[in-house]
Amino acid sequence: MNATITALPRRRRYPSDTTDTEWEILAPLLPAPASTTPTGGHPEAHPRQEIVDAIRYVVDNGCKWRALPSDFPPWKTVYGFFARWAKNGVLEYVRDQLRRQIRVDAGRCARPVTAIIDSQSVKAAETVSRDTRGFDGAKLINGRKRHLIVDTKGLLMTVKVTAADVTDRDAARELLPEMRERNPELTLIWGDNGYTGLADWARNELDLTFKVVKKPPNQVGFKVLPRRWIVERSLAWLMRARRNARDYERLPEHSEAHITWANITLMTRRLARAQEQRQAAEASSIAA
């Protein structure tokens, strides 16, 4: 904790709060306070953990920023950190580091070579402008569309939010080159029928293999399809955070940040649970 911070730490009381183990994992990944850098800056008035707890509270419970409980730092302070970290690439860095740690712990390569892409249309609130929303004729939804790429464990690699009338193919043509540049090891992408026709483009332009998982011609009702169920499960994970049940954000980038925070919370908790289990097993073996 920064020595200049004198406020008493708040008591952890909400399900979205970070545990001590989670904070040990997350804190080293956040940027250093400006006051400790060569360029300097004002000392932070509130502990970082309280800022992160407040952001997670908004994402998990879906409340307005102004409706933050009074035991958190002021909402303007919390929102300032949320917006700066989203703009400066902090969330992407934290997300990628946590994902790599989970993959390594599971005996996988830190950088995935296979990924799955999919989209989800959600209704938009009145705070979303006409310029950034649209009508998805297939889903009959007026709002925005989230385009996700996840690894084979369902962990988020990237997300892009567009108007709902943007087709999956058009979004993929914009998203995949960025993904390829940041993940040169990536060689194979799976998608559904909405991405039909991208195989030649992906192979010629990006040196990527793009495969479409099609529904069986005689399928009746719901059926779990290979590969596609992974990203659909990821979408279900993200929807547990109530802020993601509908799009309220004026800026699509802030919608992406809320989705990324939900995934960061999921991964941090998974890592913390594994670490606590290892510590418990070690303590048990020593006691024996």
pLDDT in tens, the chain (288 residues): 444 454 567 888 899 999 999 999 999 999 988 778 777 778 888 999 999 999 999 999 999 999 999 999 999 999 999 999 999 999 999 999 999 999 999 999 999 999 999 999 999 999 999 999 999 999 999 999 999 999 999 999 999 999 999 999 999 999 999 999 999 999 999 999 899 999 999 999 999 999 998 876 776 665 667 688 899 999 999 999 999 999 999 999 999 999 999 999 999 999 999 999 988 888 877 876
pLDDT of residue 219: 66
Check: pTM over 0.85? Answer yes or no. Answer: yes
pLDDT of residue 1: 43
pLDDT of residue 41: 78
- CATH superfamily to which 90-216+224-274 belongs: Ribonuclease H-like superfamily/Ribonuclease H (3.30.420.10)
- Identify the helix (H) or strand (E) that includes residue 251: none
Q: At what angle do helices 252-287 and 228-239 cross, to 10 degrees?
A: 90
DSSP state of 170: H
How far is 27 from 94, CA to CA, in rounded Å?
A: 10
pLDDT of residue 218: 72
171, with CB counted inside 10 A (0-12, 13-18, 19+), is: buried
Domain boundaries defined on the chain? 20-87, 90-216+224-274
Tell me how far CA of residue 240 lies from CA of 41, 200, 234, 257, 269, in angstroms: 37, 36, 10, 15, 14
pLDDT of residue 2: 46
Specify whether the CB–CB gap between 157 and 164 falls below 8 A. no
